[in-house]
Structure 1
Amino acid sequence: MIKVYAPASIGNINVGFDSLGIALHRLDNGILGDYISILPNKKFELIQTGSFVKDLPKHYKNNIIFHCWLKFCKKINKTIPVKVILEKNVPISSGLGSSACSIVAFLKAINIFCNNPLNHNELIMLMGELEGLFSGNIHYDNIVPCYLGGMKLILIMDDINIQNIPFFKNWFWVIAYPGVELSTYNSRKILPNYYKRDVCIKHSQYLSGFIHASHIKQEKLALKLMKDFIAEPYRKKIIPEFDQVINKAQELGSLNYGIAGSGPTLFYIFNNLVHAQNMVKWLEHHYIKNHKGFVYICVINTIGTIVMDMET
């Protein structure tokens, strides 16, 4: 049996649309990610458990894991009969890289199960292909940090190029999922097909400046440059009570804020733990809509996807 854990993640981080992302680790060491277990079997079988199992498709052929299995088998030109146990702990359509969690955990697990027929780059490319299958566009800003941990800048040229970006270890990331879904596909559809030249210039300046500030450890400059000119102006209109919540965050000492991926999860950055805890209390009473919602204080997960158990 192979058991793998893949953490939740945040893509974009405001300034790096489809290019920049972080992996998350709860400060209280609680679970914020998906588990995949793979065992030998006579045929493909999928068992679904976890906190958000009720949100998954009931028929296994509609689950992303089944499509991952099909793609992997086609890639290695061999049908692998396995039993897969998915423990779904990241809500779907939340902006926390839910599909990336399942994709990354499964592909890492089955690749190990099959004695690693795919190399590192082949795995990442296949992960991105499957992410695009469900979101409408291939993007790696959740896939790569989920797989490798840390803050990652992903450059697509002739091949995929992954850059490690230094991050500020004193930052606490408060993440708040209200408990309502927001389709990644629909969130991408509301974005314009074209942007004005001045928006493109400003976006380039802020992204390059943020990367530079991160490398030279200029915290104030990095925070000032962490702005979203591409998605937030359009997506904030479909985020519940966006302006009200952001105003309160600033009042409570948030250094910055943003939409996690496509939303509706929002994140807030603090360098004072007490302020972060005060933000959590306020969000729990004013932003969470139902029992599915949650608020956690997180730091950046530096490890990424890990093997929890491996028995031969």
Structure 2
Amino acid sequence: MTTPRKTKAFAPASIGNVSLGFDLLGAALAPVEGEFLGDWVEVTDADNFDLTVDGRFAHKLPAGSENNIVTKCYHYFQEKLVNAGLAKLNVALHLHKALPIGSGLGSSAASIVAAFYALNEHAHAPFDKDTLLEMMGELEGQISGSVHYDNVAPSYLGGLVLMTGESSPLAAKLPCFDSWYWVVCYSGISVSTAEARRLLPSEYNLADTLSFGRQLGVFVHSLYAGDEELAAKMMTDVIAERHRKALLPRFDDARSAAFANNALAFGISGSGPTVFAVSRSLEDARATQAWLDANYIQNEDGFSHVCKLSYEGTHTQTR
């Protein structure tokens, strides 16, 4: 009896926007303790499609496999195979849902990225990196209401990523400071990305627009120049934070506590409610984490991690 072939992919959590780069910057995360912070999807040869789900936050997903984004990824991938003149896959999928929904940690993006990456690898990689990333963005857009790549791209590619707005390459990896620790804290409540986007104005004044462009340009320059102090100074949000922070209880207190513990930067991860802080030392990062654990987390679903950037991004295990 032949053992069914299996392909398992992990996609890490991510910080969308990174404060200064609304819809244009994203960063993939890896906890310093060594555990995984992200979602897994496993593809297995099977006569009939089926989706099974487990994990800490599986019970928070919509009821019915047909409503799961991973099932939608499967159907979309099959459609793309047919359009390319290739045979469909005969597989079943399993999702290990370790990220909370509506957390600001790229939860839907991680499931989407892991699903597409595993399906593509199982099919012997018929689609190149940009094509696969475009597919990931399309499915993410079905959830958030618009196509954007600031979670799917870093989760897929790893590291700190800038979206180009071009068809190829869709995203470019940026250098960053290896000394930085990234503290992330999920409060335990849920914030819809679509709802958070509706809080934003449809137009911005010229001063904010100029500040946004200047900060992003200087930040990228600082990364390549190795100017840590200037890069950190640019990490403020002139686009979304003042409109969204009302959704995040004790946000201003959390910011003050982070800077009191020598944080270089502090902001909302994606649409929230997760917040992030950047620290130069593990000691400072732990101090910020301790305050957030005691004061920002609101229920048993909440958690925090001290992270470095995940430069590996999505990867597979095939057997």
**Which residue pairs with 1:181 in the alignment?**
190
What is the alpha-carbon distance in structure 2 between the residues aligned to residue 62 and residue 286 of structure 1?
Answer: 35
**Which residue pairs with 1:15 in the alignment?**
20
1:143-186: per-residue Cα shift (whole Å, max 9, x none)? Answer: 11101111111111354432221101111111000111100110
**Which residue pairs with 1:106 in the alignment?**
115
**Which residue pairs with 1:164 in the alignment?**
173
Q: Out of 251, 275, 278, which is 1:269 matched to? A: 278
Q: Out of 74, 77, 82, which is 1:72 matched to? A: 77
* One-letter identity of the residue aligned with 2:68: N
1:222-237 to 2 correspondences below 5 Å: 222-237=231-246
What is the alpha-carbon distance in structure 2 between the residues aligned to residue 238 and residue 11 of structure 1?
Answer: 17
* One-letter identity of the residue aligned with 1:90: L
What is the alpha-carbon distance in structure 1 between the residues aligned to residue 222 and residue 169 of structure 2?
Answer: 24
Which stretches in structure 2 are left out of the alignment for 5+ residues? 1-5
**Which residue pairs with 1:284 in the alignment?**
293
* One-letter identity of the residue aligned with 2:14: S
1:3-29: per-residue Cα shift (whole Å, max 9, x none)? Answer: 111100111001111111110000001
What is the alpha-carbon distance in structure 1 between the residues aligned to residue 103 and residue 210 of structure 2?
Answer: 30
Greater shift, 292-301 or 70-79, is seen at 70-79
What is the alpha-carbon distance in structure 2 between the residues aligned to residue 64 and residue 7 of structure 1?
Answer: 17
1:1-312 to 2 correspondences below 5 Å: 1-77=6-82, 79-307=88-316, 309-311=317-319
Q: Secondary structure at the match of 1:156?
A: coil
What is the alpha-carbon distance in structure 2 between the residues aligned to residue 161 and residue 72 of structure 1?
Answer: 19
TM-score by length of 2: 0.95
Contact 2:54 2:96 in 1 (8 A): yes
Contact 2:29 2:308 in 1 (8 A): yes
What is the alpha-carbon distance in structure 2 between the residues aligned to residue 123 and residue 161 of structure 1?
Answer: 10
Q: Secondary structure at the match of 2:130?
A: helix
Q: Secondary structure at the match of 2:103?
A: coil
Cα drift, residue 288 of structure 1: 0.9
* One-letter identity of the residue aligned with 2:318: M
1:85-107: per-residue Cα shift (whole Å, max 9, x none)? Answer: 10011111101111110111010
Which stretches in structure 1 are left out of the alignment for 5+ residues? none
Contact 2:130 2:170 in 1 (8 A): no
Cα drift, residue 79 of structure 1: 4.2
The Cα RMSD (Å) is: 1.1
Cα drift, residue 57 of structure 1: 1.5
Q: Secondary structure at the match of 1:93?
A: coil
Cα drift, residue 229 of structure 1: 0.5
TM-score by length of 1: 0.97
* One-letter identity of the residue aligned with 1:261: G
* One-letter identity of the residue aligned with 1:69: Y
Q: Secondary structure at the match of 2:202?
A: coil
What is the alpha-carbon distance in structure 1 between the residues aligned to residue 303 and residue 171 of structure 2?
Answer: 31
What is the alpha-carbon distance in structure 2 between the residues aligned to residue 165 and residue 118 of structure 1?
Answer: 24
1:32-82: per-residue Cα shift (whole Å, max 9, x none)? Answer: 011111111122101101111111112001100111111111111154332
